Structure 1
Amino acid sequence: MFIGIDDTDSPNKYCTTYIATLLVEKFKEMGYNVEMPKLIRMNPTVKYKTRGNGGVSIRIIEDKKLSDNEKREIKDIVIEYVENYADFEYETTNPGIVFLDEENYAKNKDLLNSYYKKVLYDIVSIDYVESILKKINAEYIKYKKGYGIIGALGAISSNPPYTYELLAYRKRENWGKERFVDEKSVFEMDEKTFPFTFNNVDYDEGKSIIAPHTKCPVLYGIRGIDKDILIEAMKMIKSEEIDRYMIFKTNQGTDVHLRYMKIKDIYPNTGVIVYGKVVKEPKNLPGGHVVFRVSDGTGEIDCIAYEPTKKFRNIVRKLIVGDLVGVYGTVREKPFEINIEKLKIIKLAKKYTKDKKCECGGTLKAKGKKGGYKCRKCGKVIKYDEIKLIEVERDITEGFYEVPPSARRHLSKPILLF
């Protein structure tokens, strides 16, 4: 049996993963065989998400077919926990629950795979997800506007690639209070577990980024590609007392929200990978943002590095017209542009400067296009288009560049995982 839950939290309190953790513990106590729960992030451009646009799913593995009474008991427990740990008072919190039998899951795998791609790439309506839920004969519950059923089914329908995240939770009496996580121990853990964990610290900013800033029950989260190493990593961190922890299978750090697209086919609020040439050099915008334009022969689009990407913008500023690049990111609606997550510099264009030294040793002075260049020392005149050009060494190299961890999306794949 598959259980999906989403949109129970708010910036003020609670966390959908906490409900999943409590449910996994409860079902194991009852003797059920429970698969590792999943924390699945969906399209990060969705505007009505509560926090990170992530749903959770739990699978109770049926060693023997569940009876109707067992199914009813499981559903009642899920409903009870959601109703006890969802912030119904918060305006944009709209919880949803989905229940799907093993038989219906197996019969509808292709449809579920298509739905998973849909929630990664597009904005999905309630009407659309309800039509899918009816086709696969799933049971679902909507609270308030019920947006949570979108992510609940998205979590159930997810497929590889996966990474892992260990979430450590606080004692209830500490919820809402300032967290204590020793930063030095996080840096030491990061060094010892590299490259099996990722996005623990931002070295440019000199800070740990594993602890959230909301009043939720989460103390910290460690992401990685090896679940056993996550346990070892947790043991290295000095912090306030942990109440409980859970390891989730997740699509974080996988780039599954991005797909290769031609510029002519790009539309707002989706994730793309575009390859093309720089056709308009980087420009500094108010607020510290930097924008440039690329073309792939089918169209042109602006690409922007926002101020929170910090030193990454210095790489962007060094691009020139003619550079061949790959741009990874999500597409804004207004202005219509790619919000850069990663930049791949494939081939650098050659850059030249004019040689204004005359062969006599004097300096050539520009006299306009018609007048060309005239030597101040010997008086020799060189036509404007005939002045010698000297190649300038570029202060940048071909390769992959990414925004710093503190500006990185949950789904963005760190370069170290390529």
Structure 2
Amino acid sequence: MINLFIGIDDTDSPNKYCTTYIATLLLETLRENGYTLDLPKLIRMNPAVKYKTRGNGGISLRILDNLSSKDKEEIKNITIKLVEKYSDFDCDNTNPGIVFIDEEKYKEHKEELQQYYKKVLYDIVDIDFAERFISKIGGQFIKYKLGRGIIGALGAVSSTPPYTYELLTYRKKEMWGKKRNIDEKSVIEMDKSTFPYTYDNYDYENEKVLITPNTPCPVLYGIRGINKEVLLKAKEMIKGETPEKYTIFKTNQGTDVHLRNMKIKEIYPNTGVIVYGKVIKNPKNIEGGHVLFTISDETGEIGCIAYEPTKRFRDIVRELIIGDYVAVYGTVREYPLEINIEKIKILKLAKKYIKDKKCPNCGGTLKSKGKKLGYKCKKCKIIIPYENIKKIEIERQIKIGFYEVPGSARRHLSKPIQIIDFNLLENDS
């Protein structure tokens, strides 16, 4: 049985096209030619990669038929023509790549491919490494310009569970580049009707529709979720511009697969981490509207930052105090070495106290005269040493549990809290 895997990446730009659109056209064309295909994959890779064209995502298709050499040649020619027709070669940062791997080679090198998938999730992979790897396992690659797309193309082919799904709809060509007309109320109704099986449809905090892209690409909207049937129902609820076609992709979006449990001393730039630690420096506001605090474990300490676009999530972060024990989920910036927070789990809250400013002698109000001089009562003039001031425990404004950034600030791979307990490994079918 000779099946074939196809991987494609880096065909689009911020101004033109979408690699998933090529996948949709390829899927249609191959089916019209009598081939049977598995559900296509949309696979995101390390979000810290700086040279990504948009969302650092490649696509993969798998042909399930027993293919002859002639069949494979036909499939490759169809793929090449579509990539060449729908890639933005004028964009300096667009460097398309295609990868073909036979099923037998895939099975023979399955463990190596799984390790490659982890590498593109956690690290920065260069073109030479991808080339050598593809050649080593007996695959074929085609590069355009720098050909950086072969990195993500192979990453998409090599992906493993967990998975979610995304239903992507596409616009008629005459609508490309025009303003998208999607009824906001219908998106809200759809979101509420399909919760918790779809996610990131609408940002209620910032009153923003999230299913439409911000670029003039062929995509009309995309609905993300954990159940294919629910996605189909959700599509029927959206009002506004009518899509020309749609495709359901299996994807690693919303799975947290880019994150690893790490000790602070193990952390390095441009990777995703989950770090457990105690707050050792209280949160502070820094330039740009960001909020920074520091945690430590037995191996070291590191800053954790909630950026301005996370909006009210920063208010949660501001409530942390020294002694709180947390798990921080996010990617690591290069300089200074800090964790860009995607979500946080508060595991233990320290007790918080305020000083009792009531005079124990007369009930008047105490006023600080400095740490060395202590407190003086405005009424009876008694002076009480600083260390003798009674402390009152106050209720914390945050609770133990998960807190996350709003949908408009969430990365593709970050798992929303609403699906945190679902078993996404079951989505391999």
Question: Does TM-score exceed 0.5, indicating one fold?
Answer: yes
Equivalences for 1:230-269 in 2 at 5 Å? 230-269=231-270
Alpha-carbon distance, 1:286 to partner: 1.8
> Secondary structure of the residue that 1:238 maps to in structure 2?
coil
> Secondary structure of the residue that 2:305 maps to in structure 1?
strand
Alpha-carbon distance, 1:379 to partner: 4.6
The yes-or-no answer on 1:174 pairing with 2:155 is no
Evaluate the alpha carbon distance shift between residue 355 and residue 95 of structure 1 in structure 2; reply closer, same or farther with a 3 A threshold.
Answer: same
Evaluate the alpha carbon distance shift between residue 11 and residue 371 of structure 1 in structure 2; reply closer, same or farther with a 3 A threshold.
Answer: closer
The yes-or-no answer on 1:54 pairing with 2:72 is no
Q: Name the structure 1 match of 2:114.
A: 113
> What amino acid does structure 1 have at the position aligned with 2:293?
F
Alpha-carbon distance, 1:206 to partner: 1.3
TM-score normalised by structure 1 residue count: 0.97
The yes-or-no answer on 1:396 pairing with 2:390 is no
Q: Name the structure 1 match of 2:374.
A: 372
> What amino acid does structure 2 have at the position aligned with 1:276?
G
Q: Spell out, residue by residue over 1:189-240, the C-alpha distance to the aligned partner (whole angstroms, 9 max, x if none).
A: 1111111100000001112110111111000000010011111110110121
Evaluate the alpha carbon distance shift between residue 276 and residue 86 of structure 1 in structure 2; reply closer, same or farther with a 3 A threshold.
Answer: same
The yes-or-no answer on 1:192 pairing with 2:198 is no
The yes-or-no answer on 1:123 pairing with 2:105 is no
Aligned residues: 416
Q: Name the structure 1 match of 2:423.
A: none
> What amino acid does structure 1 have at the position aligned with 2:40?
P
The yes-or-no answer on 1:13 pairing with 2:13 is no
> Secondary structure of the residue that 1:40 maps to in structure 2?
strand
> What amino acid does structure 2 have at the position aligned with 1:417?
I
Equivalences for 1:272-287 in 2 at 5 Å? 272-287=273-288
Equivalences for 1:6-405 in 2 at 5 Å? 6-62=9-65, 64=66, 66-359=67-360, 360-405=362-407
> What amino acid does structure 1 have at the position aligned with 2:55?
G
Q: Distance in 2 between matches of 1:368 and 1:91?
A: 61
Alpha-carbon distance, 1:149 to partner: 0.1
Alpha-carbon distance, 1:387 to partner: 1.9
Q: Name the structure 1 match of 2:424.
A: none
> Secondary structure of the residue that 2:142 maps to in structure 1?
strand
Alpha-carbon distance, 1:367 to partner: 4.0
Q: Spell out, residue by residue over 1:351-393, the C-alpha distance to the aligned partner (whole angstroms, 9 max, x if none).
A: 1112222223133343444443344444544332222111122
Q: Distance in 1 between matches of 2:243 and 2:367?
A: 72
> What amino acid does structure 2 have at the position aligned with 1:372?
G
> Secondary structure of the residue that 2:354 maps to in structure 1?
strand
> Secondary structure of the residue that 1:264 maps to in structure 2?
helix
> What amino acid does structure 1 have at the position aligned with 2:24?
T
> What amino acid does structure 2 have at the position aligned with 1:399?
G
Q: Spell out, residue by residue over 1:43-65, the C-alpha distance to the aligned partner (whole angstroms, 9 max, x if none).
A: 00101110000000000012x3x
The yes-or-no answer on 1:4 pairing with 2:11 is no
Q: Distance in 2 between matches of 1:176 and 1:321?
A: 50
Q: Distance in 2 between matches of 1:163 and 1:45?
A: 21
Q: Distance in 1 between matches of 2:310 and 2:370?
A: 41
Q: Distance in 1 between matches of 2:14 and 2:385?
A: 66
Q: Distance in 1 between matches of 2:230 and 2:219?
A: 20
> Secondary structure of the residue that 2:244 maps to in structure 1?
strand
Q: Spell out, residue by residue over 1:243-264, the C-alpha distance to the aligned partner (whole angstroms, 9 max, x if none).
A: 1100000000000001111010
**CA RMSD between the two structures:** 1.2
> Secondary structure of the residue that 2:12 maps to in structure 1?
coil
Evaluate the alpha carbon distance shift between residue 126 and residue 356 of structure 1 in structure 2; reply closer, same or farther with a 3 A threshold.
Answer: same
Q: Distance in 2 between matches of 1:368 and 1:242?
A: 69
| Worse-matched range after superposition: 91-100 or 342-351 | 342-351
Q: Distance in 1 between matches of 2:378 and 2:139?
A: 85
Unaligned residue ranges in structure 1 (runs of 5+):
none
Q: Distance in 2 between matches of 1:2 and 1:343?
A: 38
